[in-house]
Amino acid sequence: MEEIGFLGLGIMGKAMSMNLLRHGFKLTVWNRTLSRCDELVEHGATIGESPAAVIKKCKYTIAMLSDPAAALSVVFEEGGVLEQICAGKGYIDMSTVDAETSSKISEAITSKGGNFLEAPVSGSKKPAEDGQLVILAAGEKALYEEILPAFDVLGKKSFYLGQVGNGAKMKLVVNMIMGSMMNAFSEGLVLTEKSGLNPQTLLDVLDLGAIANPMFKMKGPSMVQSSYSPAFPLKHQQKDMRLALALGDENSVPMPVAAAANEAFKKARSMGLGDLDFSAVHETLKATKS
């Protein structure tokens, strides 16, 4: 396949681009904080000095950026994607953003003759390292088909969901459910301890029943030990709750559980926990239930 551009080498972008390199793809990478490119260069990537330079060089460019503000800035600001996108080039934004942001980007790219695909992912740092993401793509169908060899490396399954915005919405629904589950799980762990029970026993019991799931299994033991090394930063989970609640507003869907979970994540951010893993929301519940 042609050389691929990759913009944004955070937790996810780094893991995904390393995986592409491991599978023989040629990559040109860019990150706002340039030093984050070093490890990729050691593994064979080339550096592009700006998003525009990457787009100029590559037929396909993937972005994995933190939030709507970052996704917009990389496209619209000086040295951005729009300066070089043109007919025959594809831009694939895999960041988690809202449908409105994605549509704005799509309109700008297509007005210059380029092709656009949104493709947010379900799955975290480890699935990204292992090529086990679930890809929720929407937008230009031909671009989806052209980029499938890369998606096949990055993910265990890709969905094509139709028009731009559908991928963003599906991703927000998934993360809204996940954020609510994390809060219920955390309350259960705190209640277990405060009731004089062993939280490890709760984990064992949960794992054998109908609500067993990989998230409880993976995060439970570290939460019991108050260890929150970031796989999915809490500030991004709170961003997803906020964007999902806005989608609920738009569609008049009451979401009292998600709204409460959002408040807990906001509280965690106010406690300075935003850069820790999203499971650190556990600390806010511990604090309020003592």
Ligand X SMILES: NC(=O)c1ccc[n+]([C@@H]2O[C@H](COP(=O)([O-])OP(=O)(O)OC[C@H]3O[C@@H](n4cnc5c(N)ncnc54)[C@H](OP(=O)(O)O)[C@@H]3O)[C@@H](O)[C@H]2O)c1
Q: What residues make contact with ligand X under the rule CB under 6 A?
A: 8-13, 31-33, 36, 64-67, 69-70, 73-74, 95-96, 121, 124-125, 231-233, 236
Query: Is 46 or 193 the residue whose CB approaches ligand X more closely?
Result: 46
By beta-carbon distance, which residue lies closest to ligand X? 10
38 CB-near residues (< 8 Å, 6+ apart): none
Query: Is 125 or 286 the residue whose CB approaches ligand X more closely?
Result: 125
Tell me which of 171, 219, 235, 239 is the catalytic residue: 171
- Among candidate residues 190, 221, 200, 206, the one with its CA nearest the CA of residue 284: 190
Shortest Cβ distance from residue 234 to ligand X (Å)?
10
Shortest Cβ distance from residue 237 to ligand X (Å)?
8
- The strand pairing partners of 91, in sequence order, are 61, 116
Shortest Cβ distance from residue 260 to ligand X (Å)?
21
Q: What angle do CA 231, 63, 152 make, to 5 degrees?
A: 80
Residue 34 is given by DSSP the state G
Q: Is 6 helix (H, G, I), strand (E, B) or coil?
A: strand
Query: Is 73 or 191 the residue whose CB approaches ligand X more closely?
Result: 73
Shortest Cβ distance from residue 87 to ligand X (Å)?
26
Encoding tokens for residue 243?
């964007």
Query: Is 33 or 290 the residue whose CB approaches ligand X more closely?
Result: 33
Query: What residue has token string 């040629």?
Result: 26
Cα gap 5→231, rounded to integer Å: 24
Shortest Cβ distance from residue 143 to ligand X (Å)?
20
CA 227 to chain centre: 21
Cα gap 158→194, rounded to integer Å: 43
Query: Is 121 or 276 the residue whose CB approaches ligand X more closely?
Result: 121
Encoding tokens for residue 218?
């993976």
134: left (phi over 0), alpha (psi -120 to 50) or beta: beta
Encoding tokens for residue 100?
């409105």
The question of whether 141 is a catalytic residue gets the answer no
Catalytic residues: 171
